[in-house]
Amino acid sequence: LQHMYYFEKTLRVSIAHRLDLSYSSDHEKTHGHTWIIKVYCKENRLDMNDMLFESISIKDTILNKIDNKHLNKVFIFNPTLENVAKWIVTNISGCYKCEILENETKITYED
């Protein structure tokens, strides 16, 4: 039987972006949001400090990359909630799920 450790981190970020859409929308213009990002990670072993994850590393990965940034200048993909959630799951070790809340909208991506 293998034990699993689970880790959850919640961050608040401010972003600006514009979306490339197949229909006409105000979202095609540059606009800003405050997002609440929840990152879910898991691992079956601890690091050399007997810790699961360096929450500072997770925080830095997300905050340094997107907080107070214009996401169209950061990413080569269309910076929708869906695409950013997928990017987070793909780029954080052990991350299997990400939720991004924007106002009353919540997007969840799970690997």
Using alpha carbons, list the distances in angstroms from residue 35 to 12, 17, 55.
6, 12, 18
Count of Cβ atoms closer than 10 Å to residue 42 Cβ: 15
| Residue 55 in this model has a pLDDT that exceeds 70 | no
| Residue 2 in this model has a pLDDT that exceeds 80 | no
- Find the mean pLDDT for residues 4-20: 92
Using alpha carbons, list the distances in angstroms from residue 21 to 36, 40, 62.
23, 29, 25
- Find the mean pLDDT for residues 32-60: 82
| Residue 43 in this model has a pLDDT that exceeds 70 | yes
Distance CA 66, CA 13 (A): 7
| Residue 4 in this model has a pLDDT that exceeds 90 | no
